[in-house]
Amino acid sequence: MANVSQEPEKLTHSHPVTIPPAPLSWLRGHVKDSLDTLLGSRGKWDAHLLHRPDRSRPGVWGQWTDTTEEYGFAPVKAFWFDGKKVDPTSTRRTRQPGQAVMLHFHGGGYLCGTAAETDLTSGIPKHLVVHSPIHHVLSVDYRLAPKAPWPLPLLDAISAYHHLVNEEMVDEKDIVLVGDSAGGHLAIALTRWIRDEGSALGLKGPRGLVVMSPWCDVGFTNAWGDGLHYNADCDTVSLLQAPISPRWSDKQIDDTFGPFATSLLLRALPASTMHTSSYLSPASLLIPAQATGPDSLANFPPTFVVYGGAERLAISIKIFWARLQLARKLENPSQPDHLIEGPDSPHDFMIFPWMAEESAVIYEALDTWLRDLLASDYEVEDVPKSPEEAKSPDWRSIALKRRESRKIERDSMKTAKSPVLEPKKHRVMDMVGDMRSEGIRQVSIYTFVFD
């Protein structure tokens, strides 16, 4: 796991927490099957697309095949974002009943990035609490692929959802899932798992889903044929890999980052799963598009999708969108989904401070969409939210106050508007420093070396 500072007095925008593991009863379906495969193959893990001259060499490779570490649900680091602190000792702002919460998963290809406010991707939760109607964002520092193959990141996401629902006592209809890049992939996978397994656990699912440049096809079927060089000469994913390559003039891009990430993420699973699992590749061209069924996107919550017009993943994101709309033809969603493009924008452009002008348009559209979503009526059960509340003889009056508070919150959604994002001075932020703690270092901007 990334080395993330948890000293509250050094943080200006966030509050660190440790999320306890979800109960074993939540180990169901895809995550249980994948974890069983991981445990059954331990000691023999093979990064299918990654080659190393001496695989018996001790070090990181040995850590990857460690047979002593316990794998499964585990404590998860996370950070609450609720606006800039007044002073270093400021505590979390009180969330009133009915106020929405965003559960955020950062990007980084499952290789790098953290939930910490010092990370480049933290611009998203920082902006959301100001430029959207949701002022409480829990950003999760899920385990990364170099030491935690699939399904461990998804297990951490499940623990975070359990924490919100069963410990923070947040009504599911006050939860919106959000993620960028690999975090978008994780948010989609969590949504699918809740849809598939939630009814057995008493879950009804989140209010909405927001994904920004989501990684929808870890097997890269979208790159087959003519798609190989789609937007390759303009996307950040390419530029970060080979901006000074001698082959640049020939547009022969060094396409290593994606396969490298996939190889580490899926090394405990059969290689075919990158193409055939809808949890891993919901936009895979080897999975037939369906309106219903386990591989479909049926019964997903209202979804807001962002992509960059100049990004390489645009093809797979559009396939994901088309499959979502295919499912909607048989449904009657409470609110339309929304697809928005950042013109001439690269992959995950909303994390870059210098893309503030383009991001401002997205945040403004998202603000409107979220307000419409959160202002819509829905049935809320007047039931105790905790065992402690159930013991109170006044729990019905507490529930009534909660309903009144929710109505006030809903009415405010219809009349207010969030401030518009404006460009500001920015500084260089680190997104790959945590990779050093995983035993990987970058000797150039596009080459990875194992220590």
- The model's pTM: 0.85
Q: Are 121 and 240 in contact (CB under 8 A)?
A: no
Alpha helices in 83-141, H assignment, sequence order:
123-131
How many other C-beta atoms can be found within 10 angstroms of the C-beta atom of residue 68? 6
Give the whole-angstrom CA distance, residue 157 versus residue 110: 13
pLDDT at 320: 98
Residue-by-residue pLDDT tens, the chain, 451 positions: 444 556 777 888 889 999 999 999 999 999 999 999 998 888 777 777 766 666 566 555 555 666 667 789 999 999 999 998 888 788 889 888 888 999 999 999 998 889 999 888 999 999 999 999 999 999 999 999 888 899 999 999 999 999 999 999 999 999 999 999 999 999 999 999 999 999 999 999 999 999 999 999 999 888 765 655 665 665 566 444 433 333 434 444 445 677 888 888 998 899 899 999 999 999 999 999 999 999 999 999 999 999 998 897 999 999 999 999 999 999 988 799 999 999 988 888 889 888 888 999 999 999 999 999 998 865 555 565 556 555 566 656 666 777 777 777 777 777 778 888 887 655 555 555 555 555 554 433 333 333 3
Residue 158: name the closest of 123, 307, 70, 150 by CA. 150
- Which ranges constitute the DSSP H helices of 296-437? 314-328, 356-375, 387-391, 395-415
Classify each residue of 6-43 as buried b or exposed e, where b means 16 or more C-beta atoms within 10 Å of its C-beta: eeeeebebbbbbebebbeeebbbbbbbebbebbeebbe
**Predicted local confidence at residue 284, as pLDDT:** 96
Domains, in order of start, for the chain: 14-450 (3.40.50.1820)
The 3-state DSSP class for residue 79 equals strand
What is the DSSP annotation of 11-59? -SSEEEEEEPPPPGGG--HHHHHHHHHHHHHTT----TT---S-TT-SS
Confidence at residue 363, expressed as pLDDT on a 0 to 100 scale: 94
Can you read off the two tokens belonging to residue 224?
Answer: 């087959």
